[in-house]
Amino acid sequence: MDPNETLEDLREYARLVAGEVPGAAEEWGDTVAELFLALDEWLSRGGFPPRAWDVRRTVHE
């Protein structure tokens, strides 16, 4: 699993589900849920966070 790619996908689908695209909630809701659960499992098992969430990395770059 690539947490960076998953986060990008989650953000994209969340925008769709949040109403920026009519009817997207029905179409993408399951995908958002699946991606969220995959990312949660990854992080819960000690996987590294997506770059955008890694405060240590962004502070030092």
Instruction: At 14, list the tokens.
Output: 């969340």
5 vs 17, more confident? 5
Global pTM?
0.60
What is the rounded average pLDDT of the residues 3-12?
A: 88
If one counts every other C-beta atom within 10 angstroms of the C-beta of residue 29, the result is: 13
pLDDT tens digits along 19-57: 666 766 677 777 777 888 889 889 999 999 999 988 876
Give residue 31's pLDDT: 79
**Spatial CA neighbour of 35 closest among 58, 12, 59:** 12
Instruction: At 52, list the tokens.
Output: 């955008």
Q: What are the residue boundaries of the structural domains of the chain, listed by start?
A: 3-60
Give the position of tokens 């992080």. Answer: 43
**Spatial CA neighbour of 16 closest among 1, 4, 31, 2:** 31
Give residue 32's pLDDT: 78
